[in-house]
Amino acid sequence: MARIGLLIVVVGLGWLAAELGGLDGLEHSSVYVLFSSLLLAIGLYGSTHGIDRAEAREHTRLIVLAVTVGVVLKTAFITGVVHLVSGDPRALIMAVVVAQIDPLSVASVMRDDRLSGRAKTILGAWSSFDDPVTIILAVYAAALVSGSGGGGLSAAYFADLGLNALFALVAYLVWRLVRTAPPVLSYVAAVTAVVSAAWSSLMLGLATAGLYLRLPDSRWLARAVSAAFALSAFLMGLLLVGGANMSMGVLLGLTAFAAQMLAALVLTHGLPVIDRVHLGLAQQNGVTAVILALVFERDFGGFVAVIAPAILTINLVHVVANRTADAWGPRHPRGPLPSAPR
């Protein structure tokens, strides 16, 4: 509960700063959007950098299903419920924005011992690749909602995938050059990759690069991820200067959390019950939703006013649901059980 309390305080400080400073129209600032993209890039790289590749290979099928079938299932569920209840024509784009599991938020709880090593690996990979895939799909959703879809959009979509693949290939070639060089070159390569991805919005390529472009010491990266999470919360507060649509935001947040439970129930068949429970209660949102809210505020007025309270709702429900599961649900054994074979 302390974490969600801190989040609310930081968001409140951002709102206060915007009010006292008379800040308005931030969604039209290219510098603001670039800075937010940099925060997202740090989170994405941090999440995939920490993935155990051997463990991830054992769950490749689940991870692929999560970022394909899972994204579509969650988006369709959220869209249907929100549109049915509110009739808002923006339901599809809202669903896409909150459907992903934010890697910055996930990275901040990866040291939590309530998650098994297997669940951490799956969740880390799920959030890392779910995030950029959702960003790409958001382009389609925005075009459909605004009625500007067409063959040109399809061409742009595949071109974007190609550029992400090229980015990942270049990062791999750079890694091959620096992996046996002095450690400082690995840090330079990583920083260059993060900044380049933020500037070019090639997040899928960066998420892939994090799997092999590894740092000799990841402590600085962990600190950068923690700082990025705090800054993203402050930026969220800045977005609330125009007020918030609490009823719509709460509806969207609760529906998104329920969608994660549904997706996990469908996709995690065969895993231990405790892992299925915590993966089902893993929905969190953060800087990614903030960035997308910023971008779409230009085309869909009042978008930020809905997304901001939805993010807070999702993260608050996350804390309460997981505390409840810890108290009443199944637990990981804290040591060898008397009857367990050695």
Can you give the pLDDT at residue 170? 95
Reported confidence tier of residue 277, pLDDT bands at 50, 70, 90: confident
Which is nearest to 1 in space by CA: 327, 316, 324?
316
What would the DSSP string read from start to end of 223-286?
Answer: HHHHHHHHHHHHHHHHHGGG---HHHHHHHHHHHHHHHHHHHHHH-TTS-HHHHHHHHT-----
Q: Which two tokens stand for residue 140?
A: 């389609």
Average pLDDT, the chain: 81
Structure confidence at residue 104 (pLDDT): 64
- Please tell me the predicted confidence (pLDDT) of residue 80: 95
Which of these ranges, 105-114, 232-241, 291-300, has the smallest mean pLDDT? Answer: 105-114
Q: Report DSSP state, residue 332.
A: -
Domain ranges of the chain: 27-327
Residues 167 and 202: their CA atoms lie apart, in Å, by: 7
| Residue bearing the bigger pLDDT, 97 or 298 | 97
Q: Would you say the pTM of this structure is higher than 0.85? A: no
The string of pLDDT tens digits covering residues 200-249 is 888 888 988 988 898 888 888 888 887 887 887 788 788 787 788 999 99
User: Is it the case that residue 299 has pLDDT exceeding 60?
Assistant: yes
Task: Please write the tens of the pLDDT for every residue from 147-206.
Answer: 655 555 567 667 878 898 999 999 999 999 998 889 899 999 999 999 999 888 888 889
Residues 6+ apart with CB under 8 A from 23: 17, 238, 241
Residue-wise pLDDT for 18-45, tens only, equals 888 877 777 677 787 788 788 888 888 8
CATH number of 27-327: 1.20.1530.20
- List the single range of 1-10, 115-124, 277-286 with lowest mean pLDDT: 1-10
Task: Return d(Cα 92, Cα 73) in angstroms, integer.
Answer: 12
Please list, in sequence order, all residues whose beta carbon lies within 8 angstroms of the beta carbon of residue 133, skipping any fewer than 6 positions away. 67, 68, 71, 100, 204
Cα(237)–Cα(16) distance, rounded to whole angstroms?
A: 8
The answer to whether 305 and 294 are in contact (CB under 8 A) is no
Taking the C-alpha atoms of residue 33 and residue 37, their distance in angstroms, rounded to an integer, is 6
pLDDT confidence of residue 189: 94
Angstrom CA distances, 217 to 48, 91, 132, 169, 303, stand at: 15, 43, 25, 23, 40
Give one DSSP letter per residue of 152-214, joined into a string.
HHHHHHHHHHHHHHHHHHHHHHHHHHHTTS-HHHHHHHHHHHHHHHHHHT-HHHHHHHTTT--
Provide the sign of the torsion angle of the four alpha carbons 23, 26, 29, 31, taken in this order.
positive
**pLDDT value for 340:** 35
- Report the percentage of the chain scoring pLDDT > 70: 86
In the predicted model, what is the mean pLDDT of residues 39-66? 78
CA–CA gap between residue 163 and residue 109 (Å, rounded):
32
Give the C-alpha distances (Å, rounded to integers) separating 99 from 219, 329, 339: 30, 25, 42
Q: How confident is the model at residue 12 (pLDDT cuts 50, 70, 90)?
A: confident
What residue type is assigned to position 190 of the chain?
Answer: A
The pLDDT assigned to 83 comes to: 94
Q: Read off the tokens for 86.
A: 């509110």
Per-residue pLDDT at 330 exceeds 90: no
Q: Phi, psi at residue 333, to the nearest 5°?
A: -60, 135
